[in-house]
Structure 1
Amino acid sequence: MTSEPRVIVAGGGLAGLVAARHLAAGGVAVTLFERREDVGGRVRTVERDGYRFDRGFQVLFTAYPAVQRELDLETLDLRRFAPGACIARPGHRSTLSDPLRDPRTLPTTLFNPDLTVGDKLRLLRLRRRLERTDPAVVFAGDDGSIDEYLHEREFTDRFVENFAAPFYGGITLDRSLSTSRRVFEYTFKALSEGDIAVPAAGMGAIPRQLTARAREAGATVETGTTVESVSQDGDGVVVSADGETLEADAVVVATDPPTARDLTGVASVPTTARACVTQYYTLRGGTDLETGKRLLLNASEEGPNHVVPHSDVAPEYAPDDATLVSATYLGEREEGDDELAAISRQTLESWYPERRFDRFEAVHTERVAFAQFAQPPGIHDRLPDVRDPEGAVYLAGDYTQWSSIQGAMESGRMAAKAVVEDLSSA
């Protein structure tokens, strides 16, 4: 490059922040505009009255390659969930763990009544096969639904109903398991090789760290500024932001999918959404749900998909005299906040009939209409490329990869790489 080009990044989610950092590191004068007053996109944390409420149930998979590359995990001060989950239904709870990572759980996992011995052996064989699989080739393989994938490998209906449906329902927001098998393989491999964790300061610490790294690399990050339009102008691009017209050598559109489609005209940007509702509750201080820092999976169709013991895993999420848990419901629920809270309390009381939840109180509700884009079999072959918009306009978002933190961060890096390469050769 003979002179320092100017690039604008529209959107301050994970993809945009990663793109800004790599652009700045590549010798580009980059300015990122985020329409909200804080960065993070779908990854944000609300702090109130000593509590931390993430925007929906979100966790970090530490084995994701992009997570290891883009984040300083030690500085994030992670709080880790124990491997596995607790399976719950009225009057019944059981623990399913990973004895290879936590040998102390071998007896409880071996004699867990919610899975057959054959299912446990099949899980072990699947783990060993995916350990030898390069994650880069997962999305290049054959496709089908998760449900088809599990039944092809002779997992029983008991395994699917008691564990796979609620566990992967939580990951894909699709309890029917009609999501692409590629998502299952990639996440199953990541779960086998790393941890599920949250930063002590909440998931919002992730975009804050990415922002600091982008600024250290030389990027400018401005919040409270909305990019309204993007248009080609000769070899450059004209951007309208809050009524002001700006010229740039290139633009990276890193907004949510519907906005990205509107700004770029790329019809292959997926806009079919998966929604969820996550509601947070306080319980009497010191309440122990006896999960061993694991998720509680609902093995029945009634009630929330899963319950999370937040302050057990991360004490920093609640004041010292309170216990914080959350329940996540899949889809856009018609029930009001009070009705959902009543359902969650009744569900917990049915799982713990020996207890009373008389100090159960809903303190925060997050209704996320676009938590993920839907990922039916074959969709990843139809997703747009970062260079699909016309001219010097590029895409950065998980919708160029797959719906995940991994996909978002990787897309930001790939978009920045494409911009730097194209500007260098111009």
Structure 2
Amino acid sequence: MSDRHRGAPDTVVVGAGLAGLACASDLCRVGRRVVLLEASDGPGGRMRTDRRDGFLLDRGFQVFNTSYPQVKRRLDLRSLRLRPFTPGFVAHTPTGPVRLADPTRRPSAAGALLPGRALTARDLAASAALTARDALLPVALLKRRPDRATSAALSRAGLSDAAVNHILRPFLSGVFLEDGLETSARFFHLVWRSLVRGTLCLPADGIGAVPAQLAGGLPDHVLRLETPVAEVTASGVLLTDGSEVSATTVVVATDAVTAARLLPGLPVPGGRAVTTYYHAVDSTPMPEPTLMVDSTGTVLNTCVLTEVAATYAPPGTALVSSSVLGTDEPGTSDVVLRRLADLYGTDTSGWQQITAYTVEGALPAMPPPWPLSLTTRFGPGRYVCGDHRATGSVQGALASGTRAAREVLADSAPG
């Protein structure tokens, strides 16, 4: 470790999620003495993976998008051993399952896009035009568009109510964690662009491999685990054990609720909750790495994770991930299992539930007009970053942490 990272810190970063890791990394790179304090036993925040009896269990279903600029800048994608999903999804509609896939990546799926099979000719033309605009226009133009709800944007694009309600809404509900398509259309267009230009994957070692790689790039002794912060003080931070860490600069990089507690008066958006159920199955109910979505809304989405990455379960066992909006209420798991029988067309009575994860603030609510990036400055020497200060995505969290480091350095520069 370089001597410049020894001694009393000049900056304390609270929270080792993606935003905190990005901020700490950028500050360390230019010679700031940084301490990164994390309350739990590992980095990653909501992006963690548990190992249990040979299973890899992400704390809530997540996917990794290779097209994000911050991902390309910060991560060694090869070492993550990424395993791709099918470029598309299957939507279970009132008239049966509909498969939508990108014909430029999977030409064999082009037949499903013939008019009348999945979408009408008008819907196909509207979706093609929407996709081309989002994929090809400069990002700056997408960001400057007038903001409205995603539902209004899809209607304005010429998509029919049937296409939206039976196909796009079920898919986007899993992206936004809300089923009214009330999320900012600016964010939707950026997400749609990233889906077209990138590949959705999972690391072979679970989604937690992403923050683990970022943490591994920090200098020794910067990251301190199991060190919860009770209060931000005038001189630094007070830990829950009563000790203090002094620093002229404090960056709060926690979830929105914790950030509001540590920085009283900080306005924060509401949060979206999601619950993910993991089931072990003797044989795969779907022999392909494809995401399924449910137009009834009973299940947000489901997939056989071991078809994406066989490393997620012991040999000879399939692992199925299924998510629902909200928390794990009594009886919900039984309802989910019955719906999975319909979706997969198989008897699910013998499926073994491994665990269920509820994430209360999995994503920030992002109604229009939603600012795609907010300053991280809160007060003299005090900063706040996270996806709730940008967009609810890996890109948003990393970009907010990047902005925090940049503003910290700008404010401390001579003159």
Q: TM-score per shorter chain, which class?
A: over 0.9
Would the alpha carbon gap of residues 297 and 143 (structure 1) be closer, same or farther in structure 2, given more than 3 Å must change? same
Cα offsets for 1:142-174 (capped at 9, x unmatched)? 111010000111101111112111111000001
Would the alpha carbon gap of residues 126 and 96 (structure 1) be closer, same or farther in structure 2, given more than 3 Å must change? same
Please say if residues 61 and 196 of structure 1, whose CA atoms lie closer than 8 Å, have aligned partners that are also in contact. Answer: yes
Equivalent residues in 2 for 1:153-168, closer than 5 Å: 153-168=157-172
Cα offsets for 1:129-154 (capped at 9, x unmatched)? 11222224433331110100001111
Partner Cα separation in structure 1 for residue 42 and residue 48 of structure 2 = 8
Would the alpha carbon gap of residues 94 and 80 (structure 1) be closer, same or farther in structure 2, given more than 3 Å must change? same
Tell me whether 218-227 or 398-407 shows the greater mean CA deviation.
218-227
Partner Cα separation in structure 2 for residue 139 and residue 265 of structure 1 = 30
Which of 13, 16, 19 is the equivalent residue of 1:12?
16
Shift of 1:201: 0.5
Aligned length: 408
Please, which runs of 5 or more residues in structure 1 have no aligned partner?
A: none
In structure 2, the residue matched to 1:295 is 291
Give TM-score, length-normalised by structure 1. Answer: 0.91
Which of 187, 192, 196 is the equivalent residue of 1:192?
196
In structure 2, the residue matched to 1:131 is 135
Please say if residues 82 and 203 of structure 2, whose CA atoms lie closer than 8 Å, have aligned partners that are also in contact. Answer: yes
Shift of 1:90: 7.0
* Letter in structure 2 aligned against 1:129: R
Which of 339, 342, 348 is the equivalent residue of 2:334?
342
* Letter in structure 2 aligned against 1:224: E
Shift of 1:314: 1.0
Shift of 1:356: 2.8
1:280 is paired with a residue whose SS is strand
* Letter in structure 1 aligned against 2:408: V
Partner Cα separation in structure 2 for residue 134 and residue 310 of structure 1 = 34
Please say if residues 29 and 219 of structure 1, whose CA atoms lie closer than 8 Å, have aligned partners that are also in contact. Answer: no
Please, which runs of 5 or more residues in structure 2 have no aligned partner?
A: none
Please say if residues 134 and 142 of structure 2, whose CA atoms lie closer than 8 Å, have aligned partners that are also in contact. Answer: no
In structure 2, the residue matched to 1:304 is 299
Matched, 1:405 2:394: yes
Matched, 1:101 2:92: no
Please say if residues 268 and 384 of structure 1, whose CA atoms lie closer than 8 Å, have aligned partners that are also in contact. Answer: no
Cα offsets for 1:320-364 (capped at 9, x unmatched)? 111111111012342x3xx333222221322344x3334312111
Which of 170, 186, 194 is the equivalent residue of 1:182?
186
2:105 is paired with a residue whose SS is coil
Please say if residues 91 and 170 of structure 2, whose CA atoms lie closer than 8 Å, have aligned partners that are also in contact. Answer: no
Which of 336, 352, 357 is the equivalent residue of 2:348?
357
* Letter in structure 1 aligned against 2:319: L
Equivalent residues in 2 for 1:280-291, closer than 5 Å: 280-285=278-283, 287-290=284-287
Partner Cα separation in structure 2 for residue 349 and residue 184 of structure 1 = 31
Cα offsets for 1:64-101 (capped at 9, x unmatched)? 11111111111111111111101124783231101022
Superposed CA RMSD in Å reads 1.9
2:104 is paired with a residue whose SS is coil
In structure 2, the residue matched to 1:248 is 247
Runs (4+) off by over 6 Å = none
Quote the sequence identity (%). Answer: 33
Matched, 1:391 2:359: no
Shift of 1:219: 6.2
1:120 is paired with a residue whose SS is helix
Please say if residues 60 and 198 of structure 1, whose CA atoms lie closer than 8 Å, have aligned partners that are also in contact. Answer: yes
Partner Cα separation in structure 2 for residue 163 and residue 359 of structure 1 = 30
Partner Cα separation in structure 2 for residue 284 and residue 266 of structure 1 = 52
Equivalent residues in 2 for 1:20-419, closer than 5 Å: 20-89=24-93, 92-110=96-114, 113-215=117-219, 220-232=222-234, 237-242=235-240, 243-270=242-269, 272-285=270-283, 287-290=284-287, 292-301=288-297, 303-334=298-329, 336=330, 339-353=331-345, 355-380=346-371, 384-387=374-377, 389-419=378-408
Please say if residues 35 and 226 of structure 1, whose CA atoms lie closer than 8 Å, have aligned partners that are also in contact. Answer: yes
1:58 is paired with a residue whose SS is coil
Please say if residues 259 and 266 of structure 2, whose CA atoms lie closer than 8 Å, have aligned partners that are also in contact. Answer: no
* Letter in structure 2 aligned against 1:122: A
